[in-house]
Chains A and B, each alone.
Chain A
Amino acid sequence: DTAVSQTPKYLVTQMGNDKSIKCEQNLGHDTMYWYKQDSKKFLKIMFSYNNKELIINETVPNRFSPKSPDKAHLNLHINSLELGDSAVYFCASRAGAQPLHFGNGTRLTVT
């Protein structure tokens, strides 16, 4: 199936740990994103990335870092996790001016 896939679907971890969320798209898209959806369902863009440019939302703490080993992958690394990082994280991709395609999300719970 052509899609944006994220792993894991659920992630429960303790404060202070370092974790990663993986994202892969097989749609041939040139731009990938990470969004954070909080408990009130607000969606906030964290990063956008294509082959040429990484754009970081300035409000995102530097504990969060995207890693793109190739055009089809954009992983999210989070260091020193905090309680406030608990949220659902969505990966998305698009080609040109076309609509975003979203993954099904990773629910991160920090205890």
Chain B
Amino acid sequence: AQSVAQPEDQVNVAEGNPLTVKCTYSVSGNPYLFWYVQYPNRGLQFLLKYITGDNLVKGSYGFEAEFNKSQTSFHLKKPSALVSDSALYFCAVRDPTGANNLFFGTGTRLTVIP
């Protein structure tokens, strides 16, 4: 069965500093990995995905994520955080060999401090 873990409920970072939001996954086949962001009272918005190819994936709003197969991780990163990046971030995994549904982590609340 597939699963994804986000070990940190909350991440605080100062504006202008680099940020990392952690994610590890477990899946039987080759994973499809995603990051989504949720702003208050809104649905989730897609940020980036890894399907195959380069391990470093670039996405929306300057975010990137690195796929690490040996560590089964897919951490979200940004070189310089903005206050407007403050939101709830979800990592998700899809096992393409199964029912192809998307399973989400428990979310990490990112707060960027001015």
Interface centre among A40, A43, A104 (most CB of B within 10 A): A43
In the bound assembly, the distance between CA atoms of A45 and B46 in angstroms comes to 17
Of the residues A41, A43, A48, A105, contact of B41 by C-beta under 8 Å: A105
Tell me if B's interface is mostly helix, strand, loop or mixed: strand
Q: Does A12 make an interface contact (CB < 8 A)?
A: no
CA distance A92 to B103 in the complex (A): 13
Q: 18 A-B pairs, CB-CB below 8 angstroms?
A: A4-B43, A33-B101, A35-B104, A40-B106, A41-B38, A41-B107, A43-B44, A45-B103, A90-B44, A92-B43, A92-B44, A97-B96, A99-B49, A100-B34, A102-B36, A102-B44, A105-B41, A105-B42
Question: Besides the contacts A33-B102, A42-B106, A105-B42, what 20 more A-B pairs have beta carbons closer than 8 Å?
Answer: A4-B43, A35-B104, A41-B38, A41-B88, A42-B107, A43-B90, A43-B104, A45-B103, A48-B99, A48-B101, A92-B43, A97-B32, A99-B46, A100-B102, A101-B46, A102-B43, A102-B44, A102-B45, A103-B43, A105-B41
